[in-house]
Amino acid sequence: MLDTLIAGLLRGNVYALGAVGISLVFGVMNVVNFAQFSFFGLGAMLAWFFVVKLELSFWIALPLVLIICALLGLVINISVVRPLAKYLPLAAMLSTYAVSQVLDNASQLAFSAQFRVFPEVLPTGNLHIGNMRIGTSDIVMLAVTAVVMVAMSLFLKYGKTGRAIRATAQDQEAALQMGIPVGPVQNLSFVIASALGGLAGIFFSLYIGVVNPTSGLNIGMTSFVAATLGGLGSLVGAVIGGFVLGIFEAFGIYAFGDAARQIVVFVILIVVLVVRPGGLLGKVPLISTEPLTGTFLGKGRPLRIPRWVWIAAIVVGGVVIPIVGSNYLLTTGTQVLIYAIIAAGFTVTAGQAGVLALGQAGPIAIGAYASAMLSLYAHIPFWFALPLAGVIAAVIASVLASPIWGVKGHYISIATLGLGIAIVAVIQLIVPRAIYDIPVPSIAGIPLSTPLAYYLIDFVVLMLTLLVMWRLRRSHLGRVISSVGSDEVAALASGVRVRDYKALAFAVSAFFAGIGGSLLAHQYTYIDTTIFTMLMSLLVVTIVILGGISLPYGAVVGSIILIGAMELLRFAPEWRIIVYGLVLILVVRFRPGGILVRNS
């Protein structure tokens, strides 16, 4: 009991430090900052480098790391986040994701991907509580967190700049009118948050002992959940969220096992959000600013597409490529097409209903497993398993997501992100082994397993998807869903049952995600749960945002660019992801509303 409590406290301590940084940036800029995750890994690797390679004292290395992280944070905010955050928090979020990719891979180039043993700068096992061994290191960590928190709250409460930060967090425009220099205040918050990220990274490595450039992702994710749990924007909430999550997680693991850890974390999150939609200490504004809605749609400059382009695109995609394309191009094409199907279906949720769900890997996995098991164990042919997989994904995902539709804004993104991860974790518990020998599609006993056959199947399914999307948008139902996304309050006032339509939109998206999952499963002929990662969910979201959030055909363009670019950049393997991230940042910088935008 006591052991578990202590483990939970120590773990909660790290989450709290990370969560404060995330909450701080969110409060003053209304941006979810994925780059914060990278500062954990970067801070840890820099500290390792200074102490082990340069043999500096830890107490010199510590401020150096904080300064480097702070400076990097400043550069990132000035060059990428602020220009976008001013009017498009969503684009800013996407670019922070790109920044995190660049940072992680730059760190990997500099320090290599190997796991390193973090130096033991303070004794880690010299004290005993019962059977549990803790060290001066743990006590110092707790003390530093306490000092940082107290200093931060005094600064925010009484300091002039601190008060300016709070004012900006409460109402940016009012703060500006009162003469508060909002720009510098945001820079300062970003700098503080980045330094705290670096600090959390160092603590985290001291605590677990080994570190590599990407090991911040997991702890970052959980800190993010902690910040959400406490109420985004509330610093005290972030601290409480961190400790609450750490302790509950520890007891959850003790009771249900580590395999259920992610399920435990996200069940806690979802329960808290259902009971208190603004988090433990967050306030729910009467009219919340949705990250995706209203004025957002009109912001981009539309690219008009002449009719001949459509015909040309269909001819190139459906006739020219299948005839002249090599198997390599066709196989790349199948991946592009499947992600286009998933993303096109997702535009109903993200674009029309205005819900930026971040967990599409969940329904994709349900579709893949359903289709694989139906055809393997029930001997149902692929052609029936495919639509069934879509239906099953839609039904299961809708049932699981049903409690969360009252949650608003960024909270719903985090809740769906959690849902996606939890779904995959549950599948892992139910189907612990990988699935092999999934039958390939066949007609009259002839297997359709060539790249050309896969390509054509995927192309037809994509055309059907686009047709359904087009019909849906023009129908009465589609307009109602769009009204929810454009102005939720107005829709509610007009008697639209907002929650139900959001759920419906999500079900439609989950259907197409399930179809995509089924196509993947039958083409790979093998699936295990490691395929359906958070990165897969983020890829779907990135495709949709890049293509123009509410345009199904934009998703096709997004998919060509994002999956095609990964192949195109093969000439520079080590720099591939860095270049990819930079390209993404540039595209978002110049087309913040997506590449193809249509005025609403």
Is 299 a residue that touches another protein (CB under 8 A)?
no
Q: Which residue has the tokens 């509610």?
A: 492
Nearest in space to 140 (alpha carbons), one of 120, 156, 162, 158: 120
Is 258 a residue that touches another protein (CB under 8 A)?
yes
Report the residue number, 48 or 512, with the smaller CB distance to another protein.
48
Report the residue number, 184 or 257, with the smaller CB distance to another protein.
257
Query: Footprint of another protein on residues 98-127 (CB under 8 A)?
Result: 105, 108, 112-117, 120, 124-125
In a 3-state reduction of DSSP, which class is residue 199?
helix
Say how far apart CA 12 and CA 14 lie, in whole Å. Answer: 5
Q: Which of 577, 584, 588, 597 binds another protein (CB under 8 A)?
A: 577
Q: Which of 168, 194, 529, 537 binds another protein (CB under 8 A)?
A: 529
Q: What is the 3-state secondary structure (H, E, C) of 266-314?
A: HHHHHHHHHHCCCCCCCCCCCCCCCCCCCCHHHHCCCCCCCHHHHHHHH
Is 600 a residue that touches another protein (CB under 8 A)?
no
Size of the residue set binding another protein (CB under 8 A): 90
Residue 266 near residue 421 (C-beta atoms within 8 A):
yes
Is 134 a residue that touches another protein (CB under 8 A)?
yes
Q: Which of 251, 299, 403, 470 binds another protein (CB under 8 A)?
A: 251
Nearest in space to 213 (alpha carbons), one of 90, 82, 106: 106
Is 364 a residue that touches another protein (CB under 8 A)?
no
Min CB(243)–another protein separation in Å: 14
Q: Name the β-bridge partners of 132.
A: 129
> What mask of x and - would describe binding to another protein in positions 5 to 24, judged by CB under 8 A?
--xx-xx-------------
Our measurement of the distance from residue 118's CA atom to the centroid of its chain's CA atoms, rounded to an integer in Å, reads 28
Residue 28 near residue 34 (C-beta atoms within 8 A):
no
Residue 416 near residue 540 (C-beta atoms within 8 A):
no
Query: Footprint of another protein on residues 451-490 (CB under 8 A)?
Result: 451
Report the residue number, 258 or 500, with the smaller CB distance to another protein.
258
Cα end-to-end span (Å), the chain = 57
Is 492 a residue that touches another protein (CB under 8 A)?
no
Report the residue number, 323 or 493, with the smaller CB distance to another protein.
323
Residue type, 166: R
Say how far apart CA 242 and CA 109 lie, in whole Å. Answer: 32
Residue 25 near residue 31 (C-beta atoms within 8 A):
yes
Report the residue number, 306 or 445, with the smaller CB distance to another protein.
306
In a 3-state reduction of DSSP, which class is residue 118?
coil
Report the residue number, 153 or 214, with the smaller CB distance to another protein.
214
| Stretch touching another protein by CB under 8 A, among 90-98, 162-170, 328-336, 385-393 | 328-336
Residue type, 500: D
Q: Which of 25, 253, 396, 597 binds another protein (CB under 8 A)?
A: 253
Min CB(151)–another protein separation in Å: 27
Query: Footprint of another protein on residues 417-436 (CB under 8 A)?
Result: 428, 431-434, 436
Is 3 a residue that touches another protein (CB under 8 A)?
yes
Query: Footprint of another protein on residues 67-96 (CB under 8 A)?
Result: none
Report the residue number, 108 or 168, with the smaller CB distance to another protein.
108
DSSP one-letter code for 302: P
> What mask of x and - would describe binding to another protein in positions 206 to 245, judged by CB under 8 A?
-xxxx-x-xx--xx--------------------------
Query: Footprint of another protein on residues 272-291 (CB under 8 A)?
Result: none
Query: Footprint of another protein on residues 179-208 (CB under 8 A)?
Result: 204, 207-208
Say how far apart CA 82 and CA 89 lie, in whole Å. Answer: 9
In a 3-state reduction of DSSP, which class is residue 418?
helix
Min CB(127)–another protein separation in Å: 11
DSSP one-letter code for 80: I
Say how far apart CA 570 and CA 107 lie, in whole Å. Answer: 20
Q: Which of 194, 262, 465, 537 binds another protein (CB under 8 A)?
A: 262
- Type and span of the H or E element at 134: strand 132-134
